[in-house]
Amino acid sequence: MKPPRFDYLIPRSLDEALGVLAQHGEDAKVLAGGQSLVPLLNFRLVRPAHLLDLNDVAGLAGIRVDDGHLTIGAMTRQRAVETSALVRERCPLLAEAMPQIGHVQIRNRGTIGGSLAHADPAAELPAVVAALDGELVLRSARGERVLTPDRYFVAYLTTAAEPDELLVEVRVPVTPPRTGVAFLEVSRRHGDFALVGVAATVTVDEAGVCTAGALALTGVGPTPVVARDAVRTLVGARPTPAAFEEVGRRVVAGLRPDGDLHASSEYRAQLARVLSARALARAAERAAAGAERAKSDRR
């Protein structure tokens, strides 16, 4: 099908864009990469009166590191993040998740901000930002708000952003030393939205004991699910397969994923348990390898 009629606006600056949103927020939609919005327009599932194209707004794209944070502008293309050496070096979890988003043709156009604004519970980026305790920076003509993922992701395809607010950037902490990461997912076909995905990090001390860990899952709830309590049991423990399997069991104890045509509730829970244990194990292996490298560098 073809999109319904809309009024097309091309702001050149952030202020101009925010001005339009202040006036038309409720009846306007912003267009980023269009990889989720244009299908909805083509199906006429959304019919905005105004379509506000962000692609020519100056200053919304870019990747930088400052005060221990990696900051990515909302209009940065997914493919640019995937191929960034800075991201690979400072935030390997993000680098590992990127190529698992759709296909290269989608990532060439799709943006970081678009994915985080669309808030699909099966999407990789929301889980990565949640696992890393990132921050989402919203801007409107009224000012700026910085939200944590648990306050930003509200429900299925719903965020706490008001109709006049734009997501302008996302910040994640730079990955600390002796930390390993992993992003694992299972999907029916390569490039499909995953049935379940798991983002994991594990930090070890010089003696190889776990000092911190994080785990966030896609596809098992209306928003990314962060398994804080389950992971806490790892702290102070040696990273062993038994410890990771125990975390996996705890993760699913509190979950009631919805089943659908692609996977039953039981199967999703099973994937969540197995992938959690595997992702933690892989992250721990990498943390140990990183700790070894650090030791031999010092020698």
Partner 1 sequence: MIERTVRVTVNGRRVEKTVEVRKTLADFLRDDLDLTGTHLGCEHGVCGACTVIVDGAAVRSCLLFAAQMDGHEIETVEGLANGETLDPLQEAFREHHGLQCGFCTPGFLMTLTCLLRECPNPSDAQVREAISGNLCRCTGYRNIVTAALTAARSRAASARP
Ligand X SMILES: Cc1cc2nc3c(=O)[nH]c(=O)nc-3n(C[C@H](O)[C@H](O)[C@H](O)COP(=O)(O)OP(=O)(O)OC[C@H]3O[C@@H](n4cnc5c(N)ncnc54)[C@H](O)[C@@H]3O)c2cc1C
State which H helix or E strand residue 217 sits in.
strand 210-218
CB within 8 A of 278, min separation 6: which ones?
Answer: 182, 184, 198, 244
Does the protein bind ligand X through residue 178 (CB under 6 A)?
Answer: no
Q: Which does residue 278 touch among ligand X, partner 1, none (CB within 5 to 8 A, set by kind)?
A: none
The nearest distance, CB 166 to partner 1, in angstroms, is 18
Does the protein bind ligand X through residue 19 (CB under 6 A)?
Answer: no
Helix (H, G, I), strand (E, B) or coil at 56: coil
Written as six digits, the tokens of 56 are: 């020519």
Q: How many helices (H) and strands (E) does the chain have?
A: 12, 14
Q: What angle do CA 78, 147, 129 make, to 5 degrees?
A: 35
| Cα 123 to Cα 97: distance, rounded to the nearest angstrom | 10
Binding span for ligand X by CB under 6 A among 88-96, 113-121, 205-213, 227-235: 113-121
Closer by beta carbon to ligand X, 186 or else 212: 186
Query: With CB under 6 A, what is the number of residues at the site for ligand X?
Result: 28
Ranked by CB distance to ligand X, the top (closest) residue is 114
Does the protein bind ligand X through residue 87 (CB under 6 A)?
Answer: no
Among 81, 101, 131, 283, binds ligand X (CB under 6 A): 101
Does the protein bind ligand X through residue 76 (CB under 6 A)?
Answer: no
Instruction: Tell me the one-letter amino acid at 29.
Output: K
By the criterion CB under 8 A, which residues form the site for partner 1?
Answer: 1-9, 34-35, 38-39, 41-43, 51, 53, 55, 79, 102-106, 108-109, 189-191
DSSP lists the bridge partners of residue 145 as 138
Among 35, 140, 203, 223, binds ligand X (CB under 6 A): 35
| Cα 25 to Cα 299: distance, rounded to the nearest angstrom | 59
